[in-house]
Amino acid sequence: MEKLIALVSDFDDTLFFNREAIILAAKDLHEIVEREKKGEEDCKTLSDLEIISRDGKIPKDFSKAWKSQLYTFAYGRYGEKLTPNKPIIRYLNERAERERSETIILSARGEEFRRQTKELLDTYGLRYNKIILPDNHYLKDEEWKLLEVEKLSKEYHRILLFEDKLDNIKYIENNLNSKNIEFYLVNRSFIINVTGQLPKQKQ
């Protein structure tokens, strides 16, 4: 039987940089929340939005309710501000050809952004076989990714996972039973194989 290999890649900040779009979206959302401010919870949201407008990074405990609105603005209104990580796109295309592997995009950005996601991949020439996005956002991103990676590990003999968030890699590696997965941390144009390198911790 043919050996099936999959390159599984995250999307945001791995293949495309979203900082500028997130910042612009956070500014828009800040205006809206400020206008409609109701209570204590909105004050926390406002201060988080200030952090996001400054750093372009979303705090881990940012309001779940506003998070999807933030993404809707970022990927809907400011989708053209996303910039490709060209060296990584090139690397994945070349590696897929060399290994005769499939390329799978695994992103927690949500089914609602499938069209935008596909358009960017097509525009910048990443050749992929499948895009996996969640139908809903009930689970935390890393929990949802773990379940999907587990499913993929039964379909493929070997998986190479590319991801920009070290915490996601730690979470998946610590909670996964399969041994056929290699983990690659992507930091701009750098790729580091971190398989088995991260300290074990109980999540």
Q: Under the rule (CB under 5 A), what is the footprint of Mg ion?
A: 10, 12-13, 164
Element (H, E) at 171: helix 166-175
First to last CA, the chain: 37
Nearer to Mg ion, 14 or 153 (CB): 14
Structure tokens at 111: 């089914």
Nearest distance in Å: CB 67, Mg ion: 14
Nearest distance in Å: CB 139, Mg ion: 16
Nearer to Mg ion, 15 or 49 (CB): 15
Nearest distance in Å: CB 4, Mg ion: 25
CA 103 to the chain's CA centroid: 15
Nearest distance in Å: CB 106, Mg ion: 10
Nearer to Mg ion, 105 or 181 (CB): 105
Nearest distance in Å: CB 116, Mg ion: 15
Nearer to Mg ion, 164 or 173 (CB): 164
77 vs 83, 136, 159, 176, 201, CA distance in Å? 15, 21, 34, 36, 39
Nearer to Mg ion, 31 or 167 (CB): 167
Give the separation between CA 64 and CA 82, rounded to whole angstroms.
23
Nearer to Mg ion, 10 or 142 (CB): 10
Q: Are 171 and 18 in contact (CB under 8 A)?
A: no
Give the separation between CA 130 and CA 28, rounded to whole angstroms.
33
Nearest distance in Å: CB 165, Mg ion: 5
Edge-first strand order for the sheet with 190-193 is: 130-132, 102-106, 5-9, 158-163, 181-187, 190-193
